[in-house]
Structure 1
């Protein structure tokens, strides 16, 4: 039921209510759709023998997908994978007994044993959930973008971004995400080391089966960047194969050379460090390859400043 079989849903024109109904109908036609309380749902699309279990917020899907469909649908359409999409209304970290019971039932039904390979994916709060619930599928492989390890203040009181969510229980079942990765075959954590709190959470995921990849100067929206650079499918494929090596990852990150949001952050960094020579090299390189007015203007400003300095020096010598 992959691309050649016509799986290409597009819900971009639907309102929220119609959208949820369409997702539910699609799941019922091709797998199952299960409400999990008021704030969560599971949508399963059955196709190939690789399963992507993705955790996503509804608002994130609406913002990042042109067709307003979960990430797994892209892999069904292009790669013939199966997809289990766990959806949340807002950032919930999926800390809900109904979600625990859902994964308990999948485990009891040997659901994950039906697939040759299982990949769990999530970013931020959804990255926490992907790590936490991966324990239900021993031997799975896991891709996490800037995940939180826990919001338990006894462990991460230094993270003041989500203080209103500390009332959630992070100590019961499926609780501490790094420990839940012990059953995984391999896990990959992507983070920006310059984002201090994200880096501190990433440090908590240090395990023998975890490889961490640094995305310096990308900021705090890595999922957006990875999808806009169009490297997400390759990251997921390499995760499925257990082969997201440092060399492969570095190769994918070459896409940042043409990704203006990253280049603008790099420009701000070199300017902030007052490294004019490096800034000039950057602006010349970017403006010679891309339509980048900001870099052309900055290069012109640097050249003008250099010319004024040279003129002043000449007058003093004269």
Structure 2
């Protein structure tokens, strides 16, 4: 199978949750392997090309963000001819589970990652933490993390009060502190909105010689959803695989947000909050000239009214 033939395109959108899990397991068994990793995790491997995407995703995120209810790696199998190892979680677990530790230990012992020319670890939020933490099992891999947490160990990140219920979970044993785990990676990328204070503070903890932090101002706290809506993840992952994701390349790719209403609304809200009427006026004029945008048209009328 070649990427151009695009034969691998399963659509599981019409299935119930139990049918969906069965179908994912069957796909793994037919094309690679499927592993149950305790009560909350599973691994699905699809073998195809010599580039491997190791993606960490929650089942809920897959069901919400994918039109076909399939892991991101399946898209890369079908469109790029890559291989895919999808690690799935029931809810946000940060993939902290001894069965997962043992699974990656076994992959390392078996030389699994050595079979591929290029290995990319990917995840967002809690799954971004996992992508960084488990990348140590594949020295020389590339790692792309969207707004990852570095750790939830309160001794280091007590300032993050979003996930207090996870403070009893150990982040200090195997595959623990993500910024240390990516030191063996060829290159790591942390994508984050610098205006989101807690995400920005976690991103700062990833400061390493082999890590590039890529800023996404005004994109908010749902970067994975926005990048999927803009269909930018495949091109970004391809740039990572080909060692050409630079700050300049990223800026060019991110220009697509100029046509993304959620981004434009956040930008307008910020300009209004700061009282920057001139810039708000220019933004509204630009947007209404390019697209149907009633909110921006109304705001422009207010900004251009004689008494404003």
Please, what TM-score do these two structures have when normalized by structure 1?
0.95
How many Å separate the matches in 1 of 2:240 and 2:260? 23
Aligned residue for 1:298?
A: 299
Q: Give the 4+ runs in structure 1 shifted more than 3 A.
A: none
Q: How does 1:226-245 map to 2 (within 5 A)?
A: 226-245=227-246
Aligned residue for 1:308?
A: 307
Aligned residue for 2:55?
A: 54
Contact 1:2 1:76 (8 Å CA) reproduced? no
**SS in structure 2 of the partner of residue 308 of structure 1:** coil
Aligned residue for 1:18?
A: 19
| Shift of residue 242, structure 1, vs aligned partner | 2.3
Q: How does 1:132-151 map to 2 (within 5 A)?
A: 132-151=133-152
Aligned residue for 2:252?
A: 251
Which structure shows the bigger proportion of residues in helix conformation?
Answer: 1
How many Å separate the matches in 1 of 2:152 and 2:241? 28
Q: How does 1:149-168 map to 2 (within 5 A)?
A: 149-168=150-169
For the pair shown, which has the larger CA radius of gyration, 1 or 2?
Answer: 1
**SS in structure 2 of the partner of residue 41 of structure 1:** strand
How many Å separate the matches in 2 of 1:153 and 1:93? 15
How many Å separate the matches in 2 of 1:95 and 1:210? 23
Aligned residue for 1:312?
A: none
Aligned residue for 2:70?
A: 69
Aligned residue for 2:289?
A: 288
- For structure 2, the residue ranges without an aligned partner over 5 or more in a row are none
**SS in structure 1 of the partner of residue 139 of structure 2:** coil
Aligned residue for 1:271?
A: 272
Aligned residue for 1:214?
A: 215
- For structure 1, the residue ranges without an aligned partner over 5 or more in a row are 310-318
**SS in structure 1 of the partner of residue 284 of structure 2:** helix
**SS in structure 1 of the partner of residue 195 of structure 2:** coil
How many Å separate the matches in 2 of 1:266 and 1:79? 34
Q: Could you say what the CA RMSD is over the residues aligned between the two structures, in angstroms? A: 0.9
Contact 2:6 2:79 (8 Å CA) reproduced? no
How many Å separate the matches in 2 of 1:197 and 1:7? 39
What number of residue pairs does the alignment pair up?
307
Aligned residue for 1:115?
A: 116
